[in-house]
């Protein structure tokens, strides 16, 4: 027989679950946007902690559920939400611990993609489930006891996440070696062993560009791709949101040098559009052009078609979806770089 918990305990449990769900969803999306190690570490740790923390409230939630089922039969999408949540947690942990194991890359679909799809489904089911069951926060949630409870829950979630990390290390699981973003190493210094990845729907073009069209205010220049290998070398990490990363020596021409050779009056706070023959595009701040490379080579060899031949963008510190492949056009624009979709649309 379940403990006869007071009504308010049920409401608090639901509010706690909702907070953890929203935190997991928010940090999950953020985890795809961050590229540099320190913010990535924080976001990814918060994501793992929030997700795993849902498990801590299972004993209380099961009381709430049993009580509700005594009043009326199961309904309102609660069961599907529960199943989706368990599968989301399972695939998240499978990715975090398993890495390149058979579970992670079976049928060519990274388990992380399955996780993200399940996470999105969980989010949708959560809206349906919580809609007619508004649990209003109360002032007493922030009294001393309320804060103590929230603090205990927070500490518990972090402890659970830490236990997971310790487990990967103690068992020697591949997960112990993943990057701050959660990605696993694949094909460092060996581009042929690096996965070929498209963001959503793009495909390797049949006829790659033979020249690069560079546009600056008042000028348009066609640069033969053969002229783009200027010997500028960046050693940089390509980190795909599909859960893998690779370090390569990329060679080509620094974007600021290329733009300077074409035009003079570059807008001080402008941006630069890097556009693929396929239409895939990203806009970056012009002020960062000195840290960007248009690469024709990786590890001393010309890029393969899959990896962006004849020329691709190398954007150190940014996630893979910024590294536009098969670049056909580079255009300086007098517009803020953030005026674009936060993630590519194709
Ligand atoms: C309700 C929704 C979600 C829940 C409950 C959830 C939960 C989890 C859990 C428990 C882990 C394993 C963490 C660990 O073992 O350390 C994980 C990993 C991960 N999740 Fe989610 N997740 C959700 C949605 C998402 C979404 C929408 C995204 C991306 C758009 C995402 C991206 C990731 C990434 C990148 C990892 C790997 C992090 C790592 O290696 O530590 N998740 N998730
Ligand atoms: N034109 C174009 N460029 C693209 C993509 C794409 O779909 N189309 N995918 C991006 C993503 S998500 C990643 S991770 C890298 C993958 O580079 P690779 O295939 O050389 O490993 O390319 C990026 N550049
Ligand atoms: Mo990617």
Does ligand 1 have an atom closer than 6 angstroms to the CB of 35?
no
Lowest mean pLDDT among 132-141, 147-156, 256-265: 132-141
Atom 21 in ligand 2: residue holding the nearest Cα: 196
**Nearest in space to 5 (alpha carbons), one of 50, 62, 86, 43:** 62
Q: How far is the centre of ligand 1, averaged over its atoms, from the C-alpha of 107 (Å)?
A: 21
Does the pLDDT value for residue 320 go beyond 50?
Answer: yes
Going by pLDDT thresholds of 50, 70 and 90, the confidence category of residue 75 is low
User: Domain 191-333 is classified in which CATH homologous superfamily?
Assistant: Oxidoreductase, molybdopterin-binding domain (3.90.420.10)
What's the gap between Cα 175 and its chain centre?
17
Cβ of 319 less than 6 Å from ligand 1: no
Q: Is a pLDDT exceeding 80 seen at residue 326?
A: yes
Task: Give tens-digit pLDDT for 171-207.
Answer: 999 999 999 999 999 999 999 999 999 999 999 999 8
Task: For ligand 1, atom 14, name the residue with the nearest CA.
Answer: 48
Residue 78 in this model has a pLDDT that exceeds 90: no
Q: Is the pLDDT of residue 63 over 70?
A: yes
Give the per-residue pLDDT at 308: 98
Predicted pLDDT of residue 101: 60
Residue 182 in contact with ligand 1 by CB distance below 6 A? yes
pTM above 0.75, yes or no: yes
User: Which residue has the CA at smallest separation from atom 10 of ligand 2?
Assistant: 321
Determine the distance separating the centroid of ligand 3 and the alpha carbon of 182, expressed in angstroms.
13
Mean pLDDT score, 266-288: 95
273, 331 Cβ separation under 8 angstroms: yes
Instruction: Give me the mean pLDDT over the 139-156 stretch.
Output: 89
Cis peptide before 310 (omega within 30 of 0): yes
Buried b / exposed e along 122-144 (16+ C-beta atoms within 10 A): bbebbeebbeeeeeeeeeebeee
Which tens digits make up the pLDDT trace of 302-319? Answer: 999 999 999 999 999 999
Which residues line ligand 2 at a C-beta cut-off of 6 Å? Answer: 194-199, 202, 238, 240, 276, 278, 280, 306-308, 320-321, 323-326
Q: In the chain, what are the domain boundaries?
A: 4-182, 191-333
Q: Does 94 sit in the ligand 1 pocket, CB within 6 Å?
A: no
100 band by pLDDT with thresholds 50, 70 and 90: low
Task: Measure 242 CA to ligand 3 centroid, in angstroms.
Answer: 5
Examine the pLDDT at 255 and tell me if it is beyond 60. yes
Residue whose Cα lies nearest atom 30 of ligand 1: it is 29
Instruction: Indicate the length of the chain as a whole number.
Output: 346
Three-state DSSP at 344 gives coil
Give me ligand 1 centre to Cα 312, in Å.
30
pLDDT in tens, 23-53: 999 999 999 999 888 999 999 999 999 999 9
Q: Is 212's C-beta closer than 6 angstroms to any atom of ligand 1?
A: no
- Average model confidence (pLDDT) for the chain? 91
Choose the weakest-confidence range: 99-113, 158-172, 243-257. 99-113
pLDDT at 106: 54
178 CA closest ligand 1 atom index: 40
Ligand 1 site, residue 294, Cβ cutoff 6 A:
no
124, 77 in Cβ contact below 8 A?
no
**% pLDDT > 70, the chain:** 93
Smallest CA-to-CA distance from 160 within 26, 48, 15 is with 48
**Pocket lining: 105 vs ligand 1, CB cutoff 6 Å:** no
Three-class SS of residue 329?
Answer: strand
Residues 80-95 pLDDT 10s: 999 999 999 999 999 9
Q: Which residue has the tokens 């979806």?
A: 321
- Residue 1 binned pLDDT confidence (cut-offs 50, 70, 90): very low
Q: Whose CA is nearest to atom 39 of ligand 1?
A: 182
């Amino acid at each position: 027989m379940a403990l006869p918990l007071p009504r308010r305990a049920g409401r608090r449990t639901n509010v706690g679950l909702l907070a953890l769900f929203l935190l997991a969803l928010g940090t999950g999306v953020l985890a795809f946007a961050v590229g540099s190690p320190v913010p990535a570490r924080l976001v990814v740790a918060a994501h793992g902690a929030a997700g795993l923390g849902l498990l801590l409230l299972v004993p209380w939630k099961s009381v709430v559920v049993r009580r509700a089922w005594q009043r009326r039969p199961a309904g309102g999408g609660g069961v599907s939400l529960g199943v989706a949540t368990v599968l989301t947690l399972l695939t998240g942990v499978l990715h975090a611990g398993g890495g390149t194991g058979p579970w992670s890359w079976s049928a060519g679909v990274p388990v992380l993609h399955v996780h993200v799809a399940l996470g999105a489904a969980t989010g949708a089911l959560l809206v349906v489930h919580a809609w007619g069951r508004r649990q209003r926060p109360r002032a007493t949630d922030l009294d001393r006891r309320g804060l103590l409870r929230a603090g205990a829950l927070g500490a518990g979630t972090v402890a659970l996440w830490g236990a997971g990390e310790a487990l990967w290390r103690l068992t020697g699981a591949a997960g112990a070696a993943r990057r701050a973003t959660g990605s696993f190493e694949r094909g460092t210094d060996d581009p042929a062993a690096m996965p070929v990845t498209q963001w959503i729907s793009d495909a390797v073009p049949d006829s790659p560009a033979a020249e690069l069209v560079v546009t600056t205010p008042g000028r348009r220049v066609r640069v033969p791709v053969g002229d783009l290998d200027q010997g500028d070398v960046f050693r940089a990490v390509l980190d795909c949101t599909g859960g893998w990363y690779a370090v390569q020596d990329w060679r080509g021409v620094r974007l600021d040098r290329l733009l300077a050779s074409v035009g003079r009056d570059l807008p001080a706070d402008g941006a630069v559009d890097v556009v693929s023959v396929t239409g895939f595009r990203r806009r970056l701040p012009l002020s960062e052009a000195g840290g960007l490379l248009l690469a024709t080579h990786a590890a001393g060899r010309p890029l393969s078609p899959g990896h962006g031949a004849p020329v691709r963008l190398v954007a150190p510190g940014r996630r893979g979806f910024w590294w536009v492949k098969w670049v056909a056009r580079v255009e300086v624009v007098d517009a803020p770089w953030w005026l674009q979709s936060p993630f590519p649309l194709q």
